[in-house]
Chains A and B, each alone.
Chain A
Amino acid sequence: EAQVTQNPRYLITVTGKKLTVTCSQNMNHEYMSWYRQDPGLGLRQIYYSMNVEVTDKGDVPEGYKVSRKEKRNFPLILESPSPNQTSLYFCASSFKGTGELFFGEGSRLTVL
């Protein structure tokens, strides 16, 4: 089954404790992207990757890191999480960044 898998789905952590949210897709898509969704602010793009070893900033990259060492994986790293990074995070992928995105189920992160 074609899918984008995110882990963990739910996480409560404390300020400053490094964490990684993993994202994996099985559709051989070149393009992957991370978004955060907050009430009243909609979906905002954090980082995206057009292909392996190619990443670029979206609208809200501060406090986040990404890497794209393999085509199928695009982890989101929070080196020192802060409470303003409490949010619902979505990973998405598409064939060549066409915009017809396949989204994961989301990861709800709470930073205390």
Chain B
Amino acid sequence: EDQVTQSPEALRLQEGESSSLNCSYTVSGLRGLFWYRQDPGKGPEFLFTLYSAGEEKEKERLKATLTKKESFLHITAPKPEDSATYLCAAFFNTNAGKSTFGDGTTLTVKP
């Protein structure tokens, strides 16, 4: 069964304290791995797409990487405004249109 698992469930950081969020997947025929940010009471907002192992994408303080079994979202020198829930999702080659989301990591950055 295709699964996407995120860890940790929650992460509390001090402002400026860098860390990483993990997304591991057991899927056959991964078409793409996606990262989203979700603020309370809002819909998820697209951050990154990764298609192949070794690929990296960056945006401000965030950097996403992909291996054959997992993806990391690295947060460098976070600020309080980075506090949100971060979701990863997998789309598949075998069933175009079907997606599986992880449960998310809730990040809190304290000033």
Residues of A within 8 A of B (CB): 4, 31, 33, 35, 40-45, 48-50, 56, 58-59, 90, 92, 97-106
Contact B44 A41 (CB under 8 A): no
Q: Interface stretch among B66-74, B75-83, B96-104?
A: B96-104
Residues of B within 8 A of A (CB): 31-32, 34, 36, 41-46, 49, 87, 89, 91, 96-104
How many A-B contacts are there with CB distance less than 8 Å?
Answer: 65
Q: Taking chain A's interface residues, is the majority helix, strand, or loop, or is none over half, making it mixed?
A: strand
Q: Taking chain B's interface residues, is the majority helix, strand, or loop, or is none over half, making it mixed?
A: strand
B32, B45, B96 pick with most chain A CB within 10 angstroms: B96
Alpha-carbon separation in the docked complex, A36 to B99 (Å):
13
Contact A43 B32 (CB under 8 A): no
